[in-house]
Amino acid sequence: MATIKLFSASFLAAIALVGYVLLYLYRQIRQHRDIKRLGGYAPKVSTKVPFGLDIVYRLFRAGQLLDDIDIWHWLFSYAPYNRTVEFGIGGQRMIFTADPDNIRAVLAAQFGDYGKGEPFHRGWKEFLGDSIFTTDGQQWSESRNLLRPLFMKTRVRDFEVFERHTDKLMSLIEGKGEEVNLSKFCTSESVLSVRPTFQPYSHRVAWTANALRPYNSFTLDTSTDYLLGASVNSLGNGDNQFATHFDEVQRVQAILAKIGDTFGLFVPRRSFHKGLDFINNYVNLFIERVSSLNASELDTKEESYTFLHALSRYTSSKAVMRDQLVAILLAGRDSTAVTLSFIFHELSANPEILAKLRREILEKIGTHKTPSFEDIRNCNYLQKAISETLRIYPPVPYNVRLALRDTTLPRGGGLDGRQPVGIKKDTPIGYSAMLLHRNPSNYPPVSPEFPDISVFCPERWTHWTPKPWTYLPFNGGPRICIGQEFALTEIGYTVVRMLQRYERIDRYGTPGDMKLRSNIVLSPADGVRVGFWEG
């Protein structure tokens, strides 16, 4: 009897296994048929381990070793004619592309076919809620329409917020040639104290062991001041709780975004939820105050009038206000901070460019005048320097969309890479602005007027305009960054104010190519070590 039961159990297990295999094969055959009907396949990245676990390992290690760009180059080595490849992970087909036509299709031409998708919304729900960055369709459109009027040029031109915090930024990074302890701004890898050992050059020297940290504090202060009407004052407080909790929430969220729902179950989230509670309590205090105002009080345009006041005129939902504020705070802080760090990193290595840029600023604006919006826009070389920085270091180097229905990508299939690629619903499409910006085929040949694309050269923008969809520092299409005018103005204003005061910038640290870290935004892995000399 026991033998019969054992045989029956084994038989049922075998039947179940055969059934699973047959179902898997049926789904694969049906998927193959549908993909061929829609278009075809992109070149496939070979995998030697079941479920693509070797690719998962390489992607994970690339992030640890700060070699994200190298892993993309390795993936695209399988696509000799077109920067579009595919591979499978755990049975899920995935597409990676850095082809301008495909990116245009995903972001604009076939906008309705691609979106953030429900998995992204679910994964970011706790942090960003139902904000403009996590939703699709009607919900996204309503968020966009809600926020667009709040970024009108008339509000972007209000520079009082920038001036308050730029002055505080420069005061905090300055020294007088003495030993300066900057530990409250520095990461553990950074030099915590420095002493000048070279000959005096100017009246005073300002130091920062890691420029990224002060710029993170600066942009956090300007963003909270602009949005809420009160800065968290992280520039004046190295142990600022809001900044600490905000950083920790971002750190955990970046991990969860990379490894997905299944493996995300094993990620400890205690610090994540503690940080979220602090952020929510802080933001909700301001929302409660504004919600208590009547219509006539909201119509006032007094000095205390803020982004939140304007937002509350369009919605009374406290949840909507919270989600949109936190989302804009995330976007407004990090992308601007890293761009400022990168531009001063490049200026510190290019004294001729620095001198030319400073000369333009002093000639057009002067040494002490507070710059206006028009002043910043009229500094042509400044605009070129900012564009060049964003070309080499796009703030969001990698991004992803999900196919919302069966559709196609225009290129990447066939032997020559010129045929459409069939895309089934729920297929993730990863795309890279970094690889797009660093692809030589998207540029003119190297010449005296157009140096190699790895070289920081604002002059290249004098007679050159990027081809359509080859330069996307703020994404593109209907979801193009709604706050790009604010970000560019803040970057320009800060550069002007600092170069009105500082005549020379020196670079310190280990020579060689900068290591880049890619979490939510692109950032210098080891910080930016520079010295500012006052003229």
Q: Which residue reads 């000399």 in tokens?
A: 533
Whole-number pLDDT of residue 313: 83
Quick one: pLDDT band at residue 297, thresholds 50, 70, 90?
low
Question: Binding-site residues, please?
Answer: 481
The DSSP secondary-structure symbol of 451 reads -
Whole-number pLDDT of residue 202: 46
Which amino acid, residue 386?
I
Nearest-5° angle of CA 140, CA 154, CA 498? 100
| Model confidence, pTM | 0.87
Quick one: pLDDT band at residue 349, thresholds 50, 70, 90?
very high
* 202-231 pLDDT per residue, tens: 444 555 555 667 788 888 888 888 888 888
% of the chain residues with pLDDT over 90: 47
Quick one: pLDDT band at residue 309, thresholds 50, 70, 90?
confident
In the predicted model, is pLDDT for residue 486 greater than 50? yes
Which amino acid, residue 227?
L
Quick one: pLDDT band at residue 271, thresholds 50, 70, 90?
very high
The DSSP secondary-structure symbol of 369 reads P
In the predicted model, is pLDDT for residue 129 greater than 80? yes
Quick one: pLDDT band at residue 198, thresholds 50, 70, 90?
very low
CA distance 505 to 499: 10
CA distance 146 to 517: 33
* 47-77 pLDDT per residue, tens: 888 777 788 777 777 766 566 778 888 888 8
* Pairwise pLDDT comparison (253 vs 360), residue with the higher score: 360
* Cβ atoms 102, 409 nearer than 8 A: yes
* Pairwise pLDDT comparison (476 vs 91), residue with the higher score: 476
CA distance 17 to 51: 17
Q: What is the mean pLDDT of the chain?
A: 84
CA distance 295 to 279: 27
Whole-number pLDDT of residue 46: 86
* Pairwise pLDDT comparison (304 vs 183), residue with the higher score: 304
Backbone torsions φ then ψ of 532, nearest 5 degrees:
-105, 130
Question: Binding-site residues for heme, please?
Answer: 481
Q: How far is CA 220 from the centre of its chain?
A: 15
* Cβ atoms 133, 120 nearer than 8 A: no
399 forms bridges with which residues in the sheet?
Answer: 431
Q: What region, left, alpha or beta, does residue 465 occupy, with left being phi > 0 and alpha being psi -120 to 50 degrees?
A: beta
Whole-number pLDDT of residue 84: 95
CA distance 150 to 483: 9
H-type alpha helices, 365-432 = 373-378, 380-392
